Structure 1
């Protein structure tokens, strides 16, 4: 994996290296049956393998549960057959952090996303033609009883519906929650092939009750079916929803209205393109129309964490993947938000409103994100960013550094600082011994501490 030139680390940072904590990352893979526990050193800018954890199938999407003492739970999807969800215990042991398998449950269709919203009493998963609701046991890791199955195809077609991972291309692809004041919790499930966001209210028993169906917005020269909503996130204020469209490569913004017997719950407000202006098919520097929206594949999004001085997220990070030919690179875009969760301005070339980072590869099937504050209350909103990569020649986990909007250091605010595995890893004796693991192609990764 070709990295940018090493950054110069201040002397005082080197002298204090032993006092700077190591941050752990748990990663899944599109090409391996294992999970991987990694350790990132902010002082040394290194990323190292700590533990390889045998699992049950590739494409592990990870949701973290609450802490119980020194143990934290994690829940994963996979492409295993028959379809399953798994649970894991992340434990602080004498020799450091370790991950162990707890249990699994069978489901009827391959899932691509899993979520554990407040109050952490249920786990919700979605993928293809259905979504699942399970209870979580009190004060321990694992799955409780199954509560509900939700269908995105007519019940009459369920027996013949595609329930494999191929259905993720046109079925459900995520689930997120909002907690409006004076209303039950709301759940939002994007259905990629139908170009809708399905809206549910959450009942006291954790089950979901369908409330509304919000079609993708109409755009000039397109139809709503071309959008392909893939992933959504909700602003902490519970009044704004963001959606990445896989096919049309937009970040759409909606306002949320509590149902209270009325619809629509979602009202489309505005959009931003995931593709820089000079690469769009109608861009001024692209007369040949060589690249267009179909070459890129909108992927995922994440709001920057809140801080004490900045309770409203200052930024939203969004990714798109490049082409299947591996020649077209992917992009990470960072858009500045105002205190209400809307875009802070509409001039997309303004460096204080948007930042674009061209990734080293197309990203393959990956380009998932996770964000971690560099300090508990950095006024600039500086972050460490995980970016997963599934594209040759060196797929894996990348760590980027985001300096925040007010940074005056010159150069780009967003840049890669380290990655795992390192170039040459696959040619080592160790890698040859572990060839059956195919330790590459990170799918989703999360910060653990």
Structure 2
């Protein structure tokens, strides 16, 4: 595998890469923490509707899933000059939503199946080692395996530092927990039912020590409007959780981001959020959110911004950069960009 390197952006500019829910292109964006601008730096040819992109630990390999057919996974290399080279494309049983890796294996899930692939020496996706089925094997050829199946099937696949794998499954209303062996196979350890009927667990985030798993549900957000939540993320210092929610098929229901405080053990101090940020738009099918891993060295105010995060929108094709200021418990918009050619960002990854 490639050695871990530190990519530096040379000052206040940081880059993130996204695909699109409606466009086969990858988009390289540049966020300037001083100018407070988000700009389109470059585009990279893609191979599908790449709704989810991520990197390895070295941030020199890119992995993506696609909502387009056929179900496939994709890998690229990226160098210090942001030159991308497609490594390979791998066919899988069903369209995957999220993707993760531990440097040796790749983990993906979607709808009726989840799977584990070996990673090659060059970081590309190699042979499938193991596959988990959430329907009887004889039914796999007949069930929905398109992007629609992730709305009620397996949604993601995260592995913590203790080699425990977690697959949220919306229809089962459960988190499947596996023990991941050294050879890449998975042993089912437990099926963990969500506390409330109809929750639909969607996205998970393992704590750094592996003792906790943070989960956000998708199906139980009701009221005057129907909402669907998307993402749960932890702040860089581990003291806060951020969650995102989108309005669902209603132009009057704006999306939201919430911040929750954690205690020293990592549990919620209160079930109520510290604060909410109301997005300018519904966020469409997106509300993707990921906290930047880097510290803003251009910020000299000790009571100022401590975390940046992106927030994506498919209703009008916007990417927002939000800032978290714990001294005032505020989430604010810092910058935004509307994508060209009717492209709609779903998820992105910080490269530096």
- Residue 442 of structure 1 is matched in structure 2 by 345
- Residue 90 of structure 2 is matched in structure 1 by 105
Structure 1 residues 184-263: aligned runs within 5 Å:
185-218=163-196, 224=197, 226-249=198-221
Shift of 1:304: 1.1
Distance (Å, rounded) in 2 between the aligned partners of 1:208 and 1:157: 21
- Residue 397 of structure 1 is matched in structure 2 by 319
- Residue 26 of structure 1 is matched in structure 2 by 17
Distance (Å, rounded) in 2 between the aligned partners of 1:44 and 1:339: 35
Structure 1 residues 344-383: aligned runs within 5 Å:
344-346=269-271, 348=272, 354-372=274-292, 373-375=294-296, 382-383=306-307
- SS in structure 2 opposite 1:442? coil
Equivalent residues of 1:78, 1:84 under 8 A apart: yes
User: Could you report, residue by residue, the CA deviation over 1:252-273 in whole angstroms, capped at 9, with x for unpaired residues?
Assistant: xxxxxxxxxxxxxxxxxxxxxx
- SS in structure 1 opposite 2:167? strand
Equivalent residues of 1:51, 1:98 under 8 A apart: no
Match of 2:242 among 317, 321, 324: 317
- Residue 335 of structure 2 is matched in structure 1 by 418
Distance (Å, rounded) in 2 between the aligned partners of 1:125 and 1:448: 21
Shift of 1:170: 0.7
Equivalent residues of 2:242, 2:260 under 8 A apart: yes
Task: Point out the structure with max Rg over C-alpha.
Answer: 1
Distance (Å, rounded) in 2 between the aligned partners of 1:106 and 1:415: 41
Shift of 1:323: 2.7
Q: How many residues align?
A: 340
Equivalent residues of 2:119, 2:125 under 8 A apart: yes
Segments of 5+ residues of structure 2 without an aligned counterpart are 1-8
Distance (Å, rounded) in 1 between the aligned partners of 2:336 and 2:168: 31
- Residue 74 of structure 1 is matched in structure 2 by 62
TM-score by length of 2: 0.91
Distance (Å, rounded) in 2 between the aligned partners of 1:354 and 1:116: 32
User: Could you report, residue by residue, the CA deviation over 1:225-253 in whole angstroms, capped at 9, with x for unpaired residues?
Assistant: x111111111112111111110114xxxx
Distance (Å, rounded) in 2 between the aligned partners of 1:159 and 1:19: 51
Shift of 1:344: 1.9
Match of 2:158 among 152, 165, 176: 176
Equivalent residues of 1:386, 1:446 under 8 A apart: no
Equivalent residues of 2:54, 2:348 under 8 A apart: no
Distance (Å, rounded) in 2 between the aligned partners of 1:51 and 1:102: 19
- Residue 302 of structure 1 is matched in structure 2 by 233
Shift of 1:396: 2.3
- Does residue 1:122 correspond to 2:102, yes or no? no
Distance (Å, rounded) in 2 between the aligned partners of 1:87 and 1:239: 31
Shift of 1:98: 2.5
Shift of 1:389: 0.8
- SS in structure 1 opposite 2:126? coil
Structure 1 residues 38-117: aligned runs within 5 Å:
38-67=29-58, 72-93=60-81, 97-117=82-102
Distance (Å, rounded) in 1 between the aligned partners of 2:76 and 2:327: 39
- SS in structure 2 opposite 1:109? coil
- SS in structure 1 opposite 2:141? helix
TM-score by length of 1: 0.72
Q: 1:63 to 1:19 in 2, by over 3 A?
A: closer
